[in-house]
Chains A and B, each alone.
Chain A
Amino acid sequence: DAKTTQPNSMESNEEEPVHLPCNHSTISGTDYIHWYRQLPSQGPEYVIHGLTSNVNNRMASLAIAEDRKSSTLILHRATLRDAAVYYCILRDPGNTGKLIFGQGTTLQVKP
């Protein structure tokens, strides 16, 4: 399974944008880039996913580099509720298509 590299932790101020980076230099052509987040004492929650083009939804935006070797999750206005561990995961929809979690980035949001 292709691996991702994320910073262990990041800090942000409330109501400011947050850019969470992810490197995935060994990504294959069929891997989708998925982001999940895990709030304290809860199970992971789906945030967004994409293949090649940038994606937007109500929670966040996903910016994917042209060579697909890196991506950035963008939270447009961080709130205290966005404090969580954010996981960047490569998923091949073929075969069993399982989600393999790494260590993720712990995001702290300061008021």
Chain B
Amino acid sequence: ELKVEQNPLFLSMQEGKNYTIYCNYSTTSDRLYWYRQDPGKSLESLFVLLSNGAVKQEGRLMASLDTKARLSTLHITAAVHDLSATYFCAVRTNFGNEKLTFGTGTRLTIIP
């Protein structure tokens, strides 16, 4: 059974600082997603990572994937208040279908 763990679960950080959210998964997978969720809202896709060493960047967010270590990171550079949200990673469960297993999420709060 695929397990996906994120850490930390809660993160408060000051504006302007850098930090990293980690996503570990327990079995081989070929696809990893990062989503953002604002309070009371839906989930918004941020990144799709397909291969070992993949790196994607959008603004102050950068995601990377190490399939050998079964680890993905979401790095936040020079945090701003607008990045406050809950971030989820999700891993495709099995080859040949589109089911995803989600991590429990990291609630990020950026403090002015």
A in complex with B: no
Residues of B within 8 A of A (CB): none
Residues of A within 8 A of B (CB): none
